[in-house]
């Protein structure tokens, strides 16, 4: 199915509900807005296979822009509204965008890019225009609401969150497929696993510029479901939204679960969540105690998958399978898992190694052949990696240990900081935590923790010692931090990924 078909069938049905403002956008409105913008792109000479970029906070126009590109056979890049001018300039130039749509909230960053980038044929901004931008509303009003004569499926080209360096543009193959004829692998997986229908309401509490929220929102709309978008995630507001709108499907990251669980019990019990049938989570490993508590609270409606923006694998587990294999991210539904040792050969079940995936979609990192090659199997078997480390058990369930780039080598011993992070994350006084390696003249590296407290006023040397002792009581001493600092906030991507690179670089410069 496609957006136009859904709009023709249920024109007045909400396609988007914004929880903060209460703004309701019907399928007819979304369809017409995306058609008009597709006409604007075409009139400017932007053709299938070319590229557009947009930068907005969570607002309904972001979905209209994405759908305009999706039905025009274009690549489209959603850019984080949290990035700096240098970072956004790099992405817009690197993806070779021909159009740039930005919101007034990011005008300080967007305006210099609009002024300096000569490749941009279209520069639009809704509401109040920054210098260099034309009116989004006027451009759409002047365009036809009719579909393009030839509508082709486009595809997103999103950039990694830059946890280990410069963001990488992940470029999938783009074929000339008629719009609506082949909805894509993810839509098919969602339909198979989570059974959305015309009566479903999908809650999106995360930023739409990230892969999963954008792709899932568009897939649910393609299937005729309403998408309920939070302008910003706040734990109690999420519970309010589920109750108010009768949300049936939702997607989360583990840090959201942790924040939900740290709400007072009376607050958690105050909302009717009975409409919720599927609560899906991904993006980062979830501490086992956290998931146990979520299943106890919400029931066996918790589903987990493991994938990446690269789309080369998709593993899945429901609550029942997870309880039998706690800590697992499930079995592969798309692709096959290969665990490789240092020599590039596969290791037996139960042994840890670098994860590679075969028989899945191929991808490339845009403009970076060396990075593309580094993600490929060195022995030429056609497998690709996301840079994660893990193992497979005897039943074929996959377990993630950590990212390869996060590994600490101390005195020749490999330490995976995710273990200490998962342990400290569930401590009642800890709101957020990062564990990483810092230079040590004798050992090479040593384990460091930086903690954000639920009550920052409690920060003290005594509490730091208490948290280190707590870790040592539950984990081998060499895996635990030798020192612990407190911060008011950690550098975490809004999608939940911890930007350890920022902390590592800072502490490395101090040594």
Q: Where are the domains of the chain?
A: 3-12+24-182, 184-282+294-299, 310-405, 407-510
Contact by Cβ (8 Å): 164, 143:
no
Q: Which fold has domain 407-510?
A: GMP Synthetase; Chain A, domain 3 (3.30.300)
Report pLDDT for 445.
Answer: 86
Architecture of domain 3-12+24-182: 3-Layer(aba) Sandwich (3.40)
Answer left, alpha or beta for residue 461, where phi above 0 means left and psi between -120 and 50 means alpha.
alpha
Task: Indicate the helix (H) or strand (E) that contains 467.
Answer: helix 461-474
Taking Cα atoms as reference points, which of 287, 253, 282, 328 lies closest to residue 427?
Answer: 287
Nearby residues of 375 by Cβ (< 8 Å), 6 or more positions away: 310, 365, 384, 385, 386, 387
* Calpha distance 49→69 (Å, rounded): 10
> Phi and psi at residue 106, in whole multiples of 5°?
-115, 20
Q: Which residues pair with 394 in a beta bridge?
A: none
Distance between CA atoms of residues 34 and 54, nearest Å: 14
The CATH code of the domain at 310-405 is 2.30.38.10
Could you write out the DSSP letters of every residue in 182-244? ---HHHHHHHHHH---TT-EEEE-S-TTSHHHHHHHHHHHHTT-EEEE-SS--HHHHHHHHHH
Residue 365, CA distances (Å) to 360, 371, 376 in order: 16, 7, 11
Return d(Cα 200, Cα 174) in angstroms, integer.
Answer: 30
- Whole-angstrom Cα distance, residue 222 to residue 187? 8
Contact 366, 375 (CB under 8 A): no
Question: In what order do the strands lie in the sheet containing 99-102?
Answer: 134-135, 122-125, 99-102, 51-55, 75-79, 155-156
Fold for domain 184-282+294-299? Rossmann fold (3.40.50)
The model's pTM is 0.85
Q: Hey, is 247 helix, strand or coil?
A: coil
pLDDT tens-place values along the chain, 511 residues long: 899 999 999 999 999 999 999 999 999 999 999 999 999 999 999 999 999 999 999 999 999 999 999 999 999 999 999 888 998 999 999 999 999 999 999 999 999 999 999 999 999 999 999 999 999 999 999 999 999 999 999 999 998 765 445 778 999 889 899 999 877 888 899 999 999 988 999 999 999 998 999 999 999 999 999 999 999 999 999 999 999 999 999 999 888 998 999 999 999 999 999 999 999 998 777 889 999 999 999 999 999 999 988 889 999 999 999 999 999 999 999 999 999 998 999 999 999 999 999 998 888 999 889 889 989 998 999 999 998 999 999 999 999 987 777 878 787 677 888 889 989 999 999 999 999 998 887 778 899 999 999 999 999 999 999 999 999 999 889 899 999 999 999 987 666 677 888 888 888 777 5
| Assigned token pair, 507 | 């502490």
What is the pLDDT, as a whole number, of residue 163? Answer: 46
Same topology between domain 3-12+24-182 and domain 310-405: no
Q: What residues contact residue 486 under an 8 Å CB cut-off, 6+ apart?
A: 450, 451, 452, 453, 456, 459, 463, 464
CA distance 195 to 199: 11
Residues 50/202, Cβ–Cβ less than 8 Å: no
């Amino acid at each position: 199915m496609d957006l136009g078909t859904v709009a023709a069938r249920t024109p007045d049905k909400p396609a988007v509900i914004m929880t903060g403002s209460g703004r309701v956008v019907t399928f007819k409105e979304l369809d017409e807005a995306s058609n008009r913008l597709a006409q604007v792109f075409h009139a400017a000479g932007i053709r299938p296979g070319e590229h557009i970029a947009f930068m907005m906070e969570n607002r309904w126009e972001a979905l209209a822009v994405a759908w305009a590109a999706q039905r025009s056979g274009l690549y489209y890049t959603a850019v984080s509204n949290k990035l700096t001018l240098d970072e956004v300039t790099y992405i817009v130039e690197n993806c070779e965008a021909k159009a740039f749509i930005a919101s007034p909230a990011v005008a300080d960053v967007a305006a210099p890019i609009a002024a300096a980038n000569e490749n941009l044929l279209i520069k639009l901004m809704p509401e109040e225009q920054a210098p260099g931008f034309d009116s989004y509303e006027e451009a759409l009003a002047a365009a036809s609401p009719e579909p393009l004569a030839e509508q082709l499926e486009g595809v997103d080209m999103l950039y990694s969150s830059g946890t280990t360096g410069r963001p990488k543009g992940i470029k999938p193959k783009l074929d000339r497929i008629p719009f609506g004829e082949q909805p894509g692998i993810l839509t098919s997986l969602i339909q198979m696993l989570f059974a959305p229908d015309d009566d479903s309401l999908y809650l999106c509490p995360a930023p739409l510029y990230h892969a999963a929220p954008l792709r899932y929102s568009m897939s649910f709309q393609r299937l005729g479901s309403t998408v309920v978008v939070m302008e910003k995630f706040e734990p109690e507001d999420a519970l309010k939204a589920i109750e108010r709108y009768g949300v049936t499907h939702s997607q989360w990251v583990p840090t959201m679960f942790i924040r939900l669980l740290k709400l007072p019990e009376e607050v958690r019990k105050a909302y009717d969540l009975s409409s919720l049938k599927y609560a899906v989570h991904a993006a980062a490993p979830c501490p086992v105690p956290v998931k146990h508590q979520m299943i106890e609270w919400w029931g066996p409606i918790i589903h987990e998958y493991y994938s990446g923006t690269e789309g080369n694998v998709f593993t899945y587990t429901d609550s029942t399978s997870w309880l039998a294999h706690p800590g697992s991210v499930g079995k592969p539904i798309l692709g096959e898992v290969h665990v490789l040792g240092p020599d590039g050969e596969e290791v037996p079940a139960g042994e840890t190694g670098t994860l590679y995936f075969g028989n899945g979609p191929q991808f490339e990192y845009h403009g970076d052949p060396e990075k593309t090659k580094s993600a490929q199997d060195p022995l030429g078997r056609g497998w690709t990696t996301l840079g994660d480390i893990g193992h497979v058990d005897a039943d074929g369930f996959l377990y993630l240990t950590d990212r390869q780039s996060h590994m600490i080598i101390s005195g020749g011993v490999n330490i995976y900081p995710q273990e200490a992070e998962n342990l400290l994350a569930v401590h009642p006084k800890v709101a957020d935590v990062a564990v990483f390696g810092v230079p040590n003249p004798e050992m090479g590296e040593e384990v460091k923790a930086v903690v954000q407290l639920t009550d920052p006023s409690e920060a003290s040397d005594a509490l730091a010692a208490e948290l280190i002792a707590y870790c040592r009581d539950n984990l081998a001493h060499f895996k635990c931090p030798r020192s612990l600092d407190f911060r008011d906030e950690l550098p975490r991507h809004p999608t939940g990924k911890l930007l350890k690179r920022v902390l590592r670089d800072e502490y490395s410069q101090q040594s």
